[in-house]
């Protein structure tokens, strides 16, 4: 009976570490770089990593709200692949309508109006195994600096 209990305990412990490992969506080579370059970044339950750059003092958006953001998107090697930096022409879209990658959906729901945050997006929450040619290679970890300028509540 004791052996059975020990075997069961080992299975549970091994299973919990396996479950923990499955939650990390960054490939090991990318995880090392992220932990070295952004030691203050925190992993969320979705696998997204975030780091607060500047706190905001406004409300948080909700599903269906329209948000206006400024952003810069980088590959992990520092290559800029996309940006919207002009406050007069921010990138505007409605949350939870499939308009942006999952990493943005999860990240923006955590932000407050006026906040600037770094989003470190594993490929599973970004452009997946195919990427987005020609700018984003397959299975790319993406880095975004996103500033949430304005929230327009859904009507």
Residue 24 pLDDT grade (very low, low, confident, very high; cuts 50, 70, 90): confident
CB atoms within 10 A of CB 154: 12
Instruction: Tell me which of 91, 106, 123, 144 is the catalytic residue.
Output: 144
Active site residue 101: yes
Q: Which two tokens stand for residue 62?
A: 């909700």
Give the DSSP letter string of 83-145: EE--TTS-EEEETTSSSS-HHHHHHHHH--TT-EEEEEE-GGGTTTTT-BTTTB-TT--EEEE
Nearest-5° Cα angle at 127, 121 to 129? 105
71 an active-site residue? Answer: yes
pLDDT digits (tens, 9 = 90+) for 98-139: 999 999 999 999 999 999 999 999 999 999 999 999 999 999
Q: Which of 30, 65, 101, 143 is catalytic?
A: 101
Residue 81 designated active-site: yes
Instruction: Please indicate whether residue 82 is annotated as part of the active site.
Output: yes
Q: Which two tokens stand for residue 97?
A: 């309508």
Residue pointed to by tokens 């370059």: 37
Helix or strand (DSSP H, E) at 2: helix 2-23
Domains of the chain, by residue range, sit at 25-152
pTM of the entire predicted model: 0.84
Domain 25-152 has CATH 3.10.50.40: yes
């Amino acid at each position: 009976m004791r052996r059975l209990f020990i075997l069961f305990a080992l299975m549970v412990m091994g299973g919990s570490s396996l479950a923990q490992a499955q939650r990390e969506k960054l490939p090991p080579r990318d995880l090392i770089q992220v932990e070295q370059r952004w030691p203050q970044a925190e992993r969320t339950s979705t696998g997204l990593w975030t780091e607060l750059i500047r706190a905001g003092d406004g409300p948080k958006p909700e599903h269906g709200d329209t948000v206006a953001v400024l952003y810069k998107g980088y590959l992990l090697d520092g290559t800029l692949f996309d940006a919207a930096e002009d406050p007069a022409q921010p990138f505007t879209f409605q949350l939870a309508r499939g308009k942006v990658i999952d990493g943005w959906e999860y990240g923006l729901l955590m932000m407050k109006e006026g906040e600037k945050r770094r989003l470190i997006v594993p490929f599973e929450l970004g452009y997946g195994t195919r990427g987005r040619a020609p700018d984003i290679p397959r299975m790319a970890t993406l880095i975004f600096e996103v500033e949430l300028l304005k929230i327009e509540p859904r009507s």
